């Protein structure tokens, strides 16, 4: 049997692909530790979009002229890349959206309004991003369904022993869960939750915003019914995300946004819908952004998602003990083996905003806030946390600079 060498990630080399790192911040090299909010963009992606605009741009799915056909080909080519990226069965199941928020709203409205009612239960988790929490809470309220959340334990992991008691509340219809927590980095047991959801007759909706940039995704292996991911967190542009949905569900669903392109025939009396995926893509789509997403999928694929996942684990193994050295620092979230490259923490007596401000003067960019996780923050008993997140261009010495900066925070507030 052939032994293949594991692909290794060279962050120092990859970093040279990202023009943003050519500048200094407050006279220091930029240590960008906020990739969970949005990643930086490699020249490869920027060039792909510029080249598309300069050589092949036109509106899609309309023009019979050459340019229109080329643009359509580029757009649909990106859809095929997105399909392969998540191992979906068909590009008909791949819907371009603005971002994950738009993808999840689409499911909550278009599936939820017609399929939920009194006596039904929608279950989310306490660690959901507001984008997979608020739409479900709202649609449950609109339809009279119950809304409940799987609680999170002190380690920042889902309390799966609570599932059975949630199931006794009524007919379980939806389980909506994030694959990777955006504030704690927790990697959730999505397969297990999917099996539970299906056993109860519910659909499984997965928010893969923080998973797609960092680990291989396979919707067929996960077994879920809907999954959303976004381009801008994985080296791609803003304004483009993907909703993947099981074909039979998408076909049964009513459309969400109405207008151009999503129709088959319009008369004064009646309108019929276009086939998938057009049925859910009203109006002119994010054309160049799709091309950028396609390029980002190529770029990340070239780096290798397995290699990326291993590299982030190395960074975590280095970062967690180094951060724990800082006096008065409290780390949130599970052990390295059950988390992605995201670390949230609290510095005793110092608000995260002040922590982030002082780190900024050291050229270290971190996020301070509730991370769109207010229910989780109240569970953790903090108004906000400071969060450092890693990506394929993160260097170990940037973690050293983070730790040094945190010592400065302590001195300032001593």
Nearer to other proteins by Cβ, of 26 and 192: the residue is 26
CB-facing half-sphere around the CA of 264: CA atoms within 13 A: 9
Based on CB atoms, which residue is closest to other proteins, 169 or 353?
353
CA atoms of 141 and 144, how far apart (whole Å):
5
From the CB of 65, what's the least distance to other proteins, in Å? 46
Residue with tokens 């970062």: 319
Minimum distance from CB of 108 to other proteins (Å)? 22
Q: Whose Cβ is closer to other proteins: residue 253's or residue 359's?
A: 359
Is residue 177 flagged as an active site residue? no
Judged by CB, which is closer to other proteins: 62, or 353? Answer: 353
Q: Given the complex with other proteins, which of 50 and 412 has the nearer CB atom? A: 412
CA distances from 301 to 85, 178, 234, 235 (A): 8, 22, 11, 11
**How many angstroms separate the CA atoms of 259 and 281, rounded?**
9
Which of 189-198 are b and which e, b meaning 16 or more Cβ less than 10 Å from the residue's Cβ? ebeebbebbe
Contact residues for other proteins (CB under 8 A)? Answer: 26, 350-354, 357-358, 361, 368-370, 377, 383-384, 412-413
Report the C-alpha gap between 68 and 107 in whole angstroms. 31
Give the shortest CB-365-to-other proteins separation in angstroms: 14
CB of 413 to other proteins, least distance (A): 7
**Nearest distance in Å: CB 353, other proteins:** 4
**Closest separation between CB of residue 410 and other proteins, Å?**
12
- Least separation in angstroms between residue 97's CB and other proteins is 25
Residues 6+ apart with CB under 8 A from 342: 36, 180, 181, 182, 183, 184, 185, 210, 333, 387, 388, 389, 390
Q: For residue 74, give every residue at least 6 positions away whose Cβ sits within 8 Å of its Cβ, in sequence order, or none.
A: 52, 56, 287, 290, 291, 294
Is 20 in contact with 32 (CB distance < 8 Å)? yes
Q: For residue 207, give every residue at least 6 positions away whose Cβ sits within 8 Å of its Cβ, in sequence order, or none.
A: 100, 104, 128, 129, 131, 132, 176, 177, 178, 179, 227, 228
Q: Which residues contact 345 (CB under 8 A, 6 or more apart)?
A: 323, 329, 330, 331, 332, 385, 386, 387, 388
Query: What is the Cα–Cα distance from 158 to 84, expressed in whole angstroms?
Result: 30
- Select 296 or 358, whichever has its Cβ closest to other proteins: 358
Q: Strand 226-230 to strand 241-245: parallel, antiparallel, or no bridges (unpaired)? A: antiparallel
| Nearest to 175, CA basis, from 210, 131, 206, 211 | 206
Picking from 203, 294, 187, the residue whose alpha carbon sits closest to that of residue 245 is 203
If the CB atoms of residues 172 and 368 are measured against other proteins, the closer one turns out to be: 368
In the set 177, 224, 235, 372, the catalytic residue is 372
Q: Minimum distance from CB of 363 to other proteins (Å)?
A: 12
Closer residue to other proteins, CB minimum distance, 21 or 413:
413
Q: Which residues are catalytic?
A: 372
């Amino acid at each position: 049997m052939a032994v293949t060498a594991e692909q290794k990630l060279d962050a120092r080399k990859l970093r040279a692909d990202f023009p943003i790192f050519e500048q200094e911040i407050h006279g220091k090299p930029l240590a960008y530790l906020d990739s969970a909010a949005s990643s930086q963009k490699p020249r490869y992606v920027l060039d792909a979009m510029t080249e598309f605009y300069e050589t092949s741009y036109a509106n899609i799915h309309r023009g019979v002229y050459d340019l229109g056909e080329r643009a359509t080909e580029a757009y649909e080519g990106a859809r095929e890349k997105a399909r392969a990226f998540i191992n979906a069965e068909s590009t008909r199941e791949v819907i371009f959206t603005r971002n994950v928020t738009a993808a999840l709203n689409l499911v909550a409205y278009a599936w939820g309004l017609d399929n939920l009612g009194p006596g039904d239960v929608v279950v989310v988790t306490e660690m959901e991003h507001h984008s997979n929490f608020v739409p479900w809470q709202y649609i449950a309220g609109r339809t009279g369904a119950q809304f409940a959340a799987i609680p999170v334990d002190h380690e920042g992991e889902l309390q799966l022993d609570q599932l059975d008691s949630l199931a006794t509340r009524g007919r379980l219809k939806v389980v909506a869960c994030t694959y990777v927590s955006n504030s704690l980095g927790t990697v959730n047991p999505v397969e297990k939750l999917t099996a539970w959801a299906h056993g109860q007759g519910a659909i499984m909706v997965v928010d893969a915003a923080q998973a797609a940039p960092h680990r291989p995704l396979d919707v067929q292996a996960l077994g879920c019914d809907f999954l959303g991911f976004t381009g801008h967190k994985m080296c791609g542009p803003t304004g483009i995300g993907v909703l993947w949905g099981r074909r039979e569900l998408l076909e049964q669903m009513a459309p969400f946004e109405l207008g151009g392109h999503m129709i088959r025939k319009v008369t004064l009396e009646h309108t019929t819908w276009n086939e998938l995926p057009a049925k859910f893509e009203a109006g002119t789509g994010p054309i160049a952004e799709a091309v950028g997403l396609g390029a980002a999928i190529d770029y990340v694929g070239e780096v290798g998602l397995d290699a990326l996942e291993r590299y982030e684990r190395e960074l975590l193994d280095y970062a967690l003990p180094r951060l724990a050295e800082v006096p008065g620092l409290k780390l949130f979230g599970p052990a390295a083996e059950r988390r992605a490259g995201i670390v949230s923490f609290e510095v005793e007596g110092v608000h995260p905003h002040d922590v982030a401000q002082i780190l900024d003067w050291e050229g270290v960019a971190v996020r301070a806030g509730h991370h769109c996780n207010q229910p989780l923050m109240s569970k953790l008993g903090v108004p906000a946390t400071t969060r450092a997140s890693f990506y394929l261009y993160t260097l170990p010495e940037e973690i050293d600079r983070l730790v040094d900066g945190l010592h400065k925070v302590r001195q300032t507030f001593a």
